[in-house]
Amino acid sequence: MKTPSEVTADIQRRLQGRWHSHLADTDESFPHAFPLGRPTAAELKADYAAVHARTIEWQDWARSREVELVYVNRVAKGGSTQVLPTHVKVESIDHAAAIVAGEWPERLARSRERLAVMRERYPHVADVDRVLRLVDMYSMVDFELLVDVADWFLEDSSRATLGITPRQVPVPGVHAKWLQSHRAGVQALTGLDDLGLLPAHPPRIHFTYLDPGHRASGERVHDSATVGDAFEPAYLPGVVAISENKDTAIHFPPLAGGICVEGVGKGGKTPAAFPWIRDAPILVYWGDIDRDGYEILDGYRNDFDRDIDSVLMDPMTYEAYEEFGTDLDQHGRPLSVGDPRPVERLRDDERSMYLRILDEEHIGHRRIEQERIPLDRALEAVNRMRGEAGLLH
């Protein structure tokens, strides 16, 4: 027989999965009888005292929560007939919310208010239960903004063809990031498949020319390029080094035929969009020795769909510079451990280092920032790769 806490969890799961459709009258989830489970005949005969104690526990629980129990007659030890509870009857969704408690009573009240707004002002919304769930976690301010923006588009349907940026929507309090995060809600209330907003600006990369001859020519040293734009670098690089941090990319030492690209965070789709980076004879990545550094490296290899060498991210480098490491993030908070990700494209030494710094029992710092490693060490590592590839001259 289940415990009251187990059945409370069952009630919460039913609430979590069906509250929105129940409120929208597309599903009748309550009243509902939750089964308590049935002790076997052998259990009744062998240890009826434990079953009886559980029955008393259920009766006390039901009384305190004004819940009705459903009973059945069962044969116990000695052939005697005993009355045992089999189900908990929860009469309504509000009754369920009161049993589960926590945020649920307030959550249902808030959702009913938003449902009333949607039915009154947006009767054309067909799948109102889905929209109700979509706006469930909106703050009061965000829901009011959602209504204001939806009304702005509905006041004049031609506004969806204006071709303006999210920042240009003339509703107080609305900015590009807000509309980007809440576009699905606006489309749901308006019924518009397309709000006619201009797409976000294409991503860019920033990079530094490293070739000594080019730098001596007086031409620009630092450059940028936009995805989709017609662009060719000052020279086709023989070596491209992608550096996780800006400082190391800008100050990377001179390197014949080299270009150093500033990293763009997790994922490498943006730099992979440039053929002169994607197809460089030697392509290396240099990042911090920490969780992000290895996960970024794994993501770059996936996005480039080619092998990318890493530099100074191996156990030997960790041992050499561990004393300069840290266990705090940029906000001064301790670095969390967390479960490792698959990182299937890491090499053996990279994966071992990744798992090592995520191990709860790890002794030593969990992050060595690449700025703590001298730049000439990175240059040596890249030149070693050039030599192995027969490109050193």
**In the chain, where are the structural domains located?**
4-104, 138-190, 204-388
* pLDDT at position 80: 65
| Pair type for strands 204-209 and 222-226 | antiparallel
Cβ neighbors of 311 (< 8 A, separation 6 or more) are 241, 284, 285, 286, 378, 381, 382, 385
Taking the C-alpha atoms of residue 62 and residue 58, their distance in angstroms, rounded to an integer, is 6
| Pair type for strands 204-209 and 239-243 | unpaired
* pLDDT at position 49: 76
Q: What is the full per-residue pLDDT of the chain (393 aa) written as tens digits?
A: 889 999 999 999 999 999 999 999 888 889 999 999 887 777 777 777 777 888 899 899 999 999 999 988 876 665 667 778 889 999 999 999 999 999 999 999 999 999 999 999 999 998 899 999 999 989 999 999 999 999 999 988 777 777 788 888 888 888 878 888 899 999 999 998 888 887 777 899 999 999 999 999 999 999 999 999 999 999 999 999 999 999 999 999 999 999 999 998 787 899 999 999 999 999 999 999 999 999 999 999 999 988 899 999 999 999 999 999 999 888 788 888 888 999 999 999 999 999 999 998 899 999 999 999 999 999 999 999 988 877 765
* pLDDT at position 188: 93
Taking the C-alpha atoms of residue 127 and residue 130, their distance in angstroms, rounded to an integer, is 6
Sheet with strand 222-226: strands edge to edge: 222-226, 204-209, 258-262, 239-243, 282-286, 309-310
| Nearest residue to 369 via CA among 316, 315, 332, 330 | 330
* pLDDT at position 41: 75
Structural contact between residues 207 and 261, judged by C-beta atoms closer than 8 angstroms = yes
Long-range contacts of 330-335 (CB under 8 A, 24+ apart): 335/290, 335/291, 335/366, 335/367
Strand partners, 207: 223, 261
Angle between helices 104-121 and 93-100 (to 10 degrees): 140
Three-state DSSP at 349 gives helix
Q: Give pTM, 2 decimals.
A: 0.60
Taking the C-alpha atoms of residue 155 and residue 157, their distance in angstroms, rounded to an integer, is 7
Length of the chain: 393
* pLDDT at position 89: 95
* pLDDT at position 340: 92
DSSP 326: B
* pLDDT at position 393: 55
- Sole residue written with tokens 């035929």: 257
